[in-house]
Amino acid sequence: MSTVVPGRLYLVPTLLAPSAPEDVLPARTIAIARGLVHYIVENAKPARGFLKALGPAVPIRNIVIDEIGDTPTPARCAALLAPARDGHDLGLLSDAGCPGIADPGALVVAAAHREGIAVVPLVGPSSLVRALMASGMNGQRFTFHGYLPVKPDARAEAIRRLEADSQASGGAQLFIETPYRNAALLSALVATLKPATRLAVAADLTSASETIESRPAGEWRGRDPARYDKRPALFILQA
């Protein structure tokens, strides 16, 4: 279908960590997000917290907030987008950061394209981009892998494969971990990588405790990996 639908789907980035909205969101993003009264969200609770921090134009109880669910069917996506067919602009929110990057919002965006709904991405913080730009590694060629395997043998094998692929392509390899496993992943990286392979960790991005360290794996030895435990973090390696 490509009939033009009157309502638009605004992709609204949210805060990555507790901070003033003005620190990480442009005035235009804040103004548009304040004015929307229909939201499609990953989870209602963080969405309400974000809208409260912005100070919306109407009381929060008057804002329609629909949860996407983990893997929305095409029928569910169509139902979520129904207000746009009635002429209402919609906002899409992730729990943290940019909707559609590593969250189920991408399925809603794909459905919007199928229905001829204009998709408008607004500017806001991306932990991926901040970590990559701050790492000093190769921004001309990189891959984001999401999570690595948890079991030690499979994890070590995955780390060696990422390192070999980086050696072949020259690219940077980005991945994440559940925060309470950060120390285990960092120990495995330091134990598995060649000493010259570069390794960066970026934690608590945009918050007062933001930490970004980037150095060869060999120089990570002897540093306590527990410092990064339970802090949202991104890992980057380049051979």
Q: Between vectors from CA 216 to CA 212 and to CA 218, what angle results, nearest 5°?
A: 120
Residue 193 DSSP SS3: coil
CB of 128 to its own copies, least distance (A): 7
Q: Which of residues 50-89 bind its own copies (CB under 8 A)?
A: none
Contact call for residue 40 and its own copies (CB under 8 A): no
Contact call for residue 7 and its own copies (CB under 8 A): no
31: Cβ–Cβ under 8 A, 6 or more apart, which residues? none
Q: Between vectors from CA 74 to CA 79 and to CA 48, what angle results, nearest 5°?
A: 50
Contact call for residue 164 and its own copies (CB under 8 A): no
Please identify which residue in 22, 59, 151, 222 interacts with its own copies, judged by CB under 8 A.
22
Distance in angstroms (rounded) separating the CA atoms of residues 92 and 74: 16
Contact call for residue 141 and its own copies (CB under 8 A): yes
Contact call for residue 27 and its own copies (CB under 8 A): yes
User: Beta strands of 35-80 (E only): which ranges?
Assistant: 38-41, 64-67
Contact call for residue 206 and its own copies (CB under 8 A): yes
For its own copies, the binding residues (CB under 8 A) are 11, 20, 22-28, 98-103, 106-114, 119-121, 123-126, 128-146, 171, 198, 205-206, 210, 212-215
